[in-house]
Structure 1
Amino acid sequence: MSESHLSLLLPAIGNHLWQSTFCVCAIWLITLALRHNSARLRYGLWIAASLKFLLPLSLLLDLGTLVAGPRKVAVSQHQFAYSIATTAMHPLEPAGSLQMRDMPGRGSGRTPLYAAVAMFWFCGCACVLSVWLMRWRQLRETFNDGVHVEEGREYQSLRDVGGDISLHRSRAVREPGVYGIFRSVLLWPDGLSSRLDDEHLTAIMLHEVTHARHRDNLIAALHLVVEAVFWFHPFVWWIERKLLIERENVCDETVVHRLGNAEAYALSLLKVGRFRIEHEQSLVAPAGGADLGERVVRIVTHRVAKLSPVRSLMLIVFGIVTLVIPLALGVLHPLPVYGQVLYREGALPSFEVVSVKLRPDGPPLAPAPQSGSSVHLFFTTKMLIMYAYNLPDFSEAQIAKGPGWTDDTYDIEGKFSDSDYAAIQKMSVAERQEQIQLRLQSVLKERFHLAVHLEKREQTIYALEVAKSGPKLSAARHQEPDRFGITHSGMDYELKVTGTDLDRLASLLGREPEVGGRSIVNRTGLSGSYDLTLHWTRMASSAPDPESTAAEGSAPSYFTAIQEQLGLRLVPAKGQVASIVVDHIEKPSMN
């Protein structure tokens, strides 16, 4: 794994560990408040604490985004709330960034350190798995040495309590235990039944059947995965102890509730304890697990209290904070997050009159400004799709599964109806452009018979962030927004923009070949409109590299110019990018 990948991964791991640690501490406080209530509640909370290590909050954010579905929404609508929430959840990341990255020429000596840390983690993980594998093999041998039982006192007692699991008697075990994750088998110590009365035997059998019904061994196996991956975190071992205690408390409460005789059940556990010698086994839920003395006292003296409204509200608030809020943030955050593809399902607005003609001579041009109630432009088919769906000029990776593209240029002219023209005159420049784009989508569907759908694809992107030196942007002087133009002399280029916000700037910067077709997402957290000028020298190499030096020319390279002249920077990152998938297209009908 390269250093750039590690620099992206390590902050994410750090934030996940911080979130999981905070979650465990919160659950511990809640279980203290619920110590007089049902053990099932506390057991469920500790299971959630274990699973939190396997479930980063970013997955909940993505799930919420997935639920919301594809839509075109201005990022600024929810940017402030979303930025605050994500910053709180990701405190180890730089502001507006999902990763950490050094400036060119720095950090190259850290690769051996990263490799050493990775090797150290791998060795710890291998040790944990090896210990558990050895215990599992010992238990497997014990199981193979046992005798399958289908009759007798133990078998009848097991069936009387509703147990439908297999029963094996073994001399190698010293206490009853449920073996197996998906197919449960009860291992019964040979000679134990003679020490138990029928009432005590029934109680122990019911205890073991409860373990099997609750799939406690499956939960233990899942936590084993947590321990193997996060073996270095002390809380995972603490959670294991809490899971063991509470799962026994759950079974104890179940048995007492079914039998109605706490003293008889406590006496049965004491008889098992006398019979038992120290014998620990992996993936076995024993009747005498946890601290036997504390359990007996709890069984005899504890009475389960009803859940009060205050404690119920506490559980609801905890669920909202840990589950509902991340999902809601994902729903509120616009999709696609990167690229802001303009995609709408259903009916689209259309021009009153449309003309499409083949133009064999002359190169395609940029979209001409609106002239009166008409829009006139020259585009190839691919460029028309890119413009209509708001894809950057160099983002061919965002158009997937299309047929062979033609380079034919089409002369397209569309005229607004009088009512539509009057309505768009009251809109901003950005809103007018969107109305044109939506109507061009209608042209593509009606004249080119274009059929597309939207997919999210994992791709490399750039995050536009504030550089360490701070932003160097000038507030817009005029109200007329979003004017831009590019001029060049040799290898030197100049971009002038007036009245643009940072979302629009990210889109404009993504149109240059230096970014290699990657989408750029604004993570600066800056609002407002700005006037700016950017000078850079176009790199001769076709492979973009943020750390490359400038090619021949008087200006710096593209990435250096953005940092030095705008006080911003483009940082490589991974993200879900919206892709337009072309399902069908035909050559257009002419008129």
Structure 2
Amino acid sequence: MTEGFFAPAWTPPLIAAVINHLWQSTFLVLVAWMLTLTLRPNPARVRYVIWMIASLKFLFPFALLGGLGARWATPHMVSQSAPSLSVIVEQISQPFHAVRIPPAGAATVTLPDRSSHVMWMLFVAVWICGFVTMLARWIVRWRHAARMARNAEPIADGREFDALRLAERNAKIERPIPLVFSPTEVEPGIFGIRRPVLIWPAGLSQHLDDAQIEAIMSHEVEHVSRRDNLSAAIHALVEALFWFHPVVRWMGTKLNEERERACDERVLERNALPEAYADSILKVCAYCLEPPSPCVSGISGADLKDRILRIMAKRSGTALNSWRKIALASVAILALAMPIGIGVVHGQAAAGETSNSAHTPANSAELPKYDVASIKPYKADDRRVRMMLTPDGVSLQGAPMRLLLPQALGVEEDRILGEPAWVKSVRYDIEAKVEPDNAPKLKDLKVEQRNAMMLQLLVDRFNLKYHYEQRELPMYALVVAKDGLKMKQTKADQDDPGANAPRPGDAPRPGDGGPPQGRHMMTMNPGHLESTGTSIDMLAHVLSRQLGRTVVDKTGLTGEYDFALDYTPDNIPMPPHGSSDGGRQPEMQPDQGKPSLFTAVEEQLGLKLEATKGMVDVIVIDHIDPPTEN
């Protein structure tokens, strides 16, 4: 059950996306650190905002902005003749990529490696433990501070109350902040986000004069004005999610330092006496034995010695000049615009690829196009399918659309998602021919190139549009059975085993009944499959169509074979796309004395179908229309 939970989630694209996100966020922290070094003479609140933006970046992957940019893209074929600026930027910002499976041709399948799968399960389990631990610790501290505020005594008069109201007026805070006295010796601090409360130790006031109390109150009110508790809670979430990243904890220290410095600067700007303010901080540290909770914004945070020196020097920082404001705004705009721009470029390339879907490795060279094509619905009520490559084109009778799409796209049927319901039921008669001058070129084309020509026909006449995604799907591995191989190798292969090695893109040519004639011929009838000179890879391809699920060749056999296969037809349930039953073999009921397909493959061919899972490229149909008759 645990394996089933983790397996679909931690796919190579997701792993690459997580690593890229960590790299991008870490790089932005480095940029933030360099910016804060250049802004040391300026107010601390500017540096605090920069650190907070770097923290928020961990919660918002650039991929989200890239996806937004892709939505704005318009179809446009992007030239790849030279690396563009967007490509260079992308290589820097996203150095880790999931391995892309070729989109056409023979099925390329990545079966899961159990050791790596267990390793990722272990990593995820450790991360969950760390996340839960960090979150639980923060919740415990929050509940402790809430209990302390709840048990404290509300105060509605006295010099502390008057000093608090004065600080609120100076900070232009309209909503009064409740003041409570705590019997514990915890330092003064603000607790809460929506309705903040100022917790004041009951015995502290006797050690302070009025000016010192007013300075402390002004400091705490500044925390409320800046909403520091909210930003602290956000960074606490970042620390919980990325507890393993040392730069996140270091960033938290920097945030705390700049937060306290920013409050100190504002207190001094409101004409507080530096001596009284510095002395009040020292007295708070001397009296209050219990440090404030991380959920409470207090007064004694950051480097105490450095703070006292800055307060006594009355260093508030010089305001940003126009050039620095423009530079900071430019950096912020660039940080947002770059991922959006990359998304637009990718969206244009993807839209161009979708609108010209035949642009695949199979037809990277110039291929002939069908000049004339007749497409009509199949009227007969039989199940016969006739597919024949003619000298000047292709002739199809009763061809199911659910077979044409996999053949043209070069993938198995279960790897095509999102097709409308009519695709699974309609059949067509198709007669397509190239121009007479191009007919001689057809005899030199491989089957995968002929498939690419059919794909272009579907794009032109059916308005086919699609895109690729990577998914983990249940499938079958074809292996040699324990009793050994029972098929006969084609005679020509026996005489010269190297002469007829399997060729990429070879495909069966089903006839309309009768025994196969010549090599590379295959006859398919309900419950019967007979072939001459067929590779194991092509057998796996045919079995995939019978089962409705990808079959990958794991036999290690080369050469071509002759065989005949008799089995029970039509009792094999077609699994829905995305089925999560782990590839369980369907339960069969033999018909007319014939065995199930699984049993027939093992008993008659000496091969076995084993259920497994693997990562494959799937094709998602974005749009397809029924063709107009002609």
TM-score for the superposition, normalised by structure 1: 0.63
**What's the secondary structure of 2:353's corresponding residue?**
coil
Asked whether the equivalents of residues 16 and 97 of structure 2 are also in contact (C-alpha less than 8 Å), the reply is yes
Residue of 136, 143, 151 corresponding to 1:145: 151
**Separation in structure 1 between the aligned mates of residue 92 and residue 197 of structure 2, nearest angstrom:** 46
Letter in 2 for 1:288: S
CA distance in structure 2 between the partners assigned to 1:73 and 1:386 by the alignment? 24
CA, structure 1 residues 291+81, in 2 after alignment: closer, same or farther (shift >3 Å)?
Answer: closer
Do the aligned residues in 1 keep the contact of 2:416 with 2:619 (CA within 8 Å)?
no
Deviations 1:492-513 (A, max 9, x none): 775389xxxxxxxxxxxxxxxx
1:167 is aligned to 2:178: yes
Assess if the C-alpha contact under 8 Å between 1:343 and 1:454 holds in 2.
no
The counterpart of 1:135, out of the listed 141, 145, 151, is: 141
Contact 1:207 / 1:287 at 8 angstroms: preserved in 2?
Answer: yes
2:297: which partner in 1? 285
- CA-to-partner distance for each residue in 1:421-474, whole Å, 9 max, x for gaps? xxxxxxxxxxx99998787468x9xxxxxxxx999988569xxxxxxxxxxxxx
**CA 1:255–1:227: 2 relative to 1, 3 Å:** same
| 1:343-391 superposed Cα distances (whole Å, 9 cap, x missing partner) | 99xxxxxxxxx998655258698999999xxxx999989679979x999
Q: 1:186 aligns with which of 198, 219, 244?
A: 198
Deviation at 1:234, TM superposition (A): 1.7
Give deviations 1:536-563, integer Å, cap 9, x for gaps.
53413443366734679639xxxxxxxx
Aligned partners of 1:20, 1:5: CA distance in 2, in Å?
22
Deviation at 1:279, TM superposition (A): 1.6
Q: Tell me how far apart the structure 1 counterparts of residues 32 and 40 of structure 2 sit (CA, whole Å).
A: 12
1:399 aligns with 2:418: yes
Relative distance call for 1:274 and 1:492 in structure 2 (3 A) is closer
Q: Distance in 1 between matches of 2:27 and 2:126?
A: 25
* Residues 293-442 of structure 1 aligned to structure 2 (within 5 Å): 293-301=305-313, 302-308=315-321, 311-312=324-325, 315-316=328-329, 318-319=331-332, 322-334=335-347, 337=350, 340-342=353-355, 358-361=377-380, 394=413, 397-399=416-418, 402=421, 406-409=425-428, 440=461
Instruction: Rate the CA distance shift 1:545–1:30 in 2: closer, same or farther, 3 A.
Output: farther
Distance (Å, rounded) in 1 between the aligned partners of 2:286 and 2:135 = 32
How big is each residue's C-alpha offset from its partner over 1:235-271, in whole Å with a ceiling of 9 and x where there is no partner? 1111111111111122222222233654554444344
In the superposition, relative to structure 1, how do residues 307 and 12 fare at CA in structure 2: closer, same or farther (>3 Å)?
same
Distance change in 2, residues 1:396/1:573 (3 Å): closer
Change (3 A) 1:14 1:395: same
SS in 2 for 1:68: coil
- How do 1:225-236 and structure 2 match up within 5 A? 225-236=237-248
Q: What is aligned with 1:252? A: 264
Residue from 59, 70, 77 that aligns with 1:54: 59
Label 1:51 to 1:156 Cα distance change in 2 as closer, same or farther (>3 A).
closer
Check if 1:544 corresponds to 2:586: no
Q: SS of 1:409's equivalent? A: strand
Match of 1:33 among 16, 38, 41: 38
Does structure 1 residue 495 correspond to structure 2 residue 502?
A: no
Question: Is the partner of 1:148 in helix, strand or coil?
Answer: strand
Q: Which runs of 5+ in 2 are unaligned?
A: 103-107, 358-372, 433-452, 474-499, 508-534, 562-612
SS in 1 for 2:292: coil
Amino acid in structure 2 at the alignment position of 1:160: R
Query: Secondary structure at 2:200's aligned position in 1?
Result: strand
Report the Cα offset of residue 575 of structure 1: 8.9
| Aligned AA (2:139) | L
Given the superposition, is the C-alpha separation of residues 575 and 12 from structure 1 closer, same or farther in structure 2, using an over 3 Å criterion? Answer: farther
Summarize deviations over 1:288-320 as a string: whole Å, max 9, x none.
322333212213321412335664465356435
In the alignment, which residue of structure 1 is the partner of 2:77?
73
SS at match of 1:537: helix
Distance 1:116 1:440, change over 3 A: closer
| 8 Å Cα contact 1:269-1:288 kept in structure 2 | yes
- 1:113-128 matches, within 5 Å, as 113-128=119-134
Q: Aligned equivalents of 2:142 and 2:262: distance in 1? A: 25
Aligned to 1:580: 622
Identity of aligned residues (%): 29
Question: What amino acid sits opposite 2:622 in the alignment?
Answer: I
Residues 44 and 261, structure 2, Cα contact 8 Å, conserved in 1: yes
3-state SS in 2 of match to 1:306: coil
The residue aligned with 1:516 is: none
After TM superposition, the score normalised by the length of structure 2 is 0.59
Aligned pairs for 1:446-457 (under 5 A) are none
Distance 1:341-1:138 versus aligned 2 partners, 3 A rule: same
Which residue of 1 is the match for residue 481 of structure 2? none
Give 1:40 shift: 1.7
Q: 1:227 to 1:159 in 2, by over 3 A?
A: closer
TM-fit CA distance, 1:194: 4.8
Deviates further, 537-546 or 274-283: 537-546
Task: Check 1:157–1:335 CA distance in 2 against 1; reply closer, same or farther (3 A cut).
Answer: same
- Structure 2 residue aligned with 1:87: 91
Contact 1:227 1:236 survives alignment (8 Å):
yes
Aligned to 1:24: 29
User: Secondary structure of 1:341's match?
Assistant: helix
Contact 1:203–1:255 (CA under 8 A) maintained in structure 2: yes
Contact 1:165 1:184 in 2 (8 A): no
Q: Deviations over 1:321-353 (max 9, x none)?
A: 543222211111135749932299xxxxxxxxx
Shift in Å, 1:20: 2.8
1:179: Cα distance to partner?
1.0
RMSD over equivalenced CA pairs, Å = 5.3
* Change beyond 3 A, Cα 1:157–1:338: same
Instruction: Quote the Cα distance in structure 2 between the aligned partners of 1:317 and 1:36.
Output: 20
Equivalent-residue separation in structure 1 for 2:208 and 2:132 (angstroms): 42
Counterpart secondary structure, 2:132: helix
Distance 1:335 1:254, change over 3 A: same
8 Å CA contact 2:376–2:430 kept in 1: the answer is yes
Instruction: Tell me if structure 2 keeps the 8 A contact 1:180–1:217.
Output: yes
Alignment partners' CA distance in 1, 2:469 and 2:230: 33
Conserved? CA contact 2:401–2:427, under 8 Å: no
Is 1:211 the counterpart of 2:204? The answer is no
Q: Which residue of 2 aligns with 1:223?
A: 235
3-state SS, counterpart of residue 259 of structure 1: coil
